Amino acid sequence: MSDQNKANNFTCRSCNANLISQGNTTSLQTFYCSSCDQFQLQHYETKTQTEAWKEANISEVFLSSLEKRRRIQASQIIKKWGHQIKEPVLDYACGQGIFLEAALKSGIKIKGADLNRVGTHAENILQVDKPWGTLVCNDFKTVVMLDVIEHNEGIEQFLNDLKNFGVQNLIIKVPNAKGPSAKAALILKFIGKPGLWETLNLVGDYVPHYTFFSARGLERLLAKSGFNVVARMPLTEFGTELPERLRSHKSVLKFPLRIFGFFISAFSFLWCDNITVLAKVSAEKH
């Protein structure tokens, strides 16, 4: 790990405030920013892997439930913000290509970018030669990053690069540090049961989460790179399919997890497990 990344483990990526240690598990160290009310994570060990969706704990059931929910989310984003999207568009780290496919069907001029060209629209995906390569972004006016930036330890530089390439709009979705799942996980962690907290932060994955954002922290991070959040929207992150979305859980928990997912879905318009924003380049920095 570079000296810069070591420093970032102890200062907030969003506001540069000093972080407070929130204790360790056997796999993860958690730091808290009281100014942004969000968390940064230091993983003791991550896997080395370059091919996406091939982890042992990713099942077909998981992928199917994830795809179904992301199709719903993509449709909602395009319906609400599609008219504001400046073309051409890049769906960065497009994964399964769900948003890419929905945008293409809506007539949006869009390409995807990922380490691997997979899915039914592989011909529309630009292959990135290394994680977080930005050269692929230099011809696009809007960059979409859904469930992406929380995986990047050096996200500040990446966002600066996008601004310097002339990107004007960002559509970003991240997990919400103040959402119901995070709150439940923190309570369990406090009483000595950190399993859900580790699951939410993808402990053991080759691309785990490094930041658990709050809305305030995300806005501050984007502002540092010259982007202002101009709109937000609530998106249901999961419903009764919650047991299938957790990569590892005990079968005895399946029913209570389904009930929990139902209530989260029902109240997601008030209390959401994700933060989804539209950001535009600041006029004074354009």
Can the peptide bond before residue 88 be classed as cis, meaning omega within 30 degrees of 0?
A: yes
Q: Which two tokens stand for residue 261?
A: 């997912």
List, for residues 151-185, the tens digit of each pLDDT value: 999 999 999 999 999 999 999 999 999 998 899 99
Question: Which has the minimum average pLDDT: 46-60, 113-127, 165-179, 269-283?
Answer: 46-60
In angstroms, how far is CA 57 from the centroid of its own chain?
19
State how beta strands 28-33 and 20-24 pair: antiparallel
| pLDDT (0 to 100) of residue 266 | 67
Average pLDDT of span 22-29: 90
Q: Quick check: 82 pLDDT over 60?
A: yes
pLDDT tens digits for range 33-51: 999 999 999 998 766 654 5
Tokens representing 38 are 């969000």
pTM of the entire predicted model: 0.85
pLDDT the model gives residue 50:
47
Cβ(273)–Cβ(264) below 8 Å: yes
More confident residue, 260 or 130: 130
pLDDT recorded at residue 56: 58
**CA angle 105-107-108, nearest 5°?**
105
pLDDT of res. 75: 95
| CATH number of the structural domain 52-202+214-285 | 3.40.50.150
282 band by pLDDT with thresholds 50, 70 and 90: confident
Mean pLDDT of 83-95: 92
Highest mean pLDDT (candidates 25-29, 234-238, 259-263, 267-271): 25-29
Query: What mean pLDDT do residues 182-193 have?
Result: 93
Nearest CA to 103 out of 151, 171, 174, 162 is that of 171
Per-residue 3-state assignment (H helix, E strand, C coil) for the chain: CCHHHHHHCCECCCCCCECEEEEECCCEEEEEECCCCEEEEEECCCCCCCCCCCCCCCCHHHHHHHHHHHHHHHHHHHHHHHHHCCCCEEEECCCCCHHHHHHHHCCCCEEEEECCCCCCCHHHEEECCCCCCCHHHCCCCEEEEECCHHHCCCHHHHHHHHHHCCCCEEEEEEECCCCHHHHHHHHHHHCCCCHHHHHHCCCCCCCCCCEECCHHHHHHHHHHCCEEEEEEECCCCCCCCHHHHCCCCCHHHHHHHHHHHHHHHHCCCCCCCEEEEEEEECHHHC
pLDDT score of 120: 66
If you average pLDDT over every residue of the chain, what do you get? 84
Q: Average the pLDDT over each of 121-130, 228-237, 249-258, 265-274 and give the range with the smallest value.
A: 249-258
Mean pLDDT of 74-95: 94
Contact between residue 32 and residue 39 where contact means Cβ atoms under 8 Å apart: yes
Measured distance CA(34)–CA(176) in Å, rounded: 15
